[in-house]
Amino acid sequence: MQIKSTDESYGLIARLLHWGMAAAILAMFALGYWMRTLDYYSPWYKQAPDIHKGVGMILMALLVFRMLWRVLDHRPDDKDLKAIERKLSHLLHTGFYLLLVVLMIAGYLIATLDGRVIDVFGWIEVPSLHTQKGLEETAGWIHEFLAYLLMGLVALHAAAALKHHFVDRDKTLLRMLRSGKPNS
């Protein structure tokens, strides 16, 4: 089991970060979407946002680690992709990282602009770094808009991976599914 990536495939850490964060981000979108339907009398009215904020802070820490790992880790060879596919892939991945950073900062601001801390499941408290009451709604709109945009990019990313696997029959998806040398 390879920890770091090779020319042939992504390593265990890159794959765990990719699939783990993908699952968590999809779950966070579903939770956020569902939270908007709750009324004041729902037993989840306070608990669901606390879960959303706590997981969001964990994802923010994982995103920082993931970006550092991406810089330090070897990337599998993508020479089998066309030049335009390499450019689009790079653009999409850069877009993912930028979008996630801004999305998470906006989420952080929604919860902390009034001076409150974010309690991460009783483990740590993330302090408010800036207070400016009244901007929570703007941060909320940005957070929601970017969440929908992110889901669009996720769909595009998944469609591209499936196209490479089933139409082009190349190794693109296999590099992220298993370690070692993907079969041709």
Angle ∠(78,81,83) on CA atoms, nearest 5? 105
Phi, psi of 119 (to 5 degrees): -85, 115
Give the residue numbers spanning the domain of 130: 12-177
Rounded mean pLDDT of 64-71? 97
Six-digit token string for 43: 């037993």
Residue 182 in domain: no
Domain count, the chain: 1
**Is 118 among the domain residues?**
yes
Assigned domain for 123 exists: yes
Give the pLDDT of residue 181.
Answer: 62
**φ, ψ dihedrals at 147, nearest 5°:** -65, -45
Per-residue model confidence as pLDDT tens digits over 111-169:
999 999 999 999 999 999 999 989 999 999 999 999 999 999 999 999 999 999 999 99
Partners of residue 125 on adjacent β-strands: 119
Contact 164, 170 (CB under 8 A): yes
> How does pLDDT run across 78-106, given as a tens digit for each residue?
888 899 999 999 999 999 999 999 999 99
Task: Confirm whether 1 is domain-assigned.
Answer: no
> For the segment 121-132, what is each residue's pLDDT rounded down to a tens digit?
999 999 999 999
CA-based end-to-end distance of the chain: 20
Taking all residues of the chain, what is their mean pLDDT, rounded to a whole number?
A: 94
Q: Where are the alpha helices (DSSP H) in 37-135?
A: 47-72, 83-112
Cα 140 from Cα 101, distance rounded (Å): 15
Residue 85 is part of a domain; what is its CATH number? 1.20.950
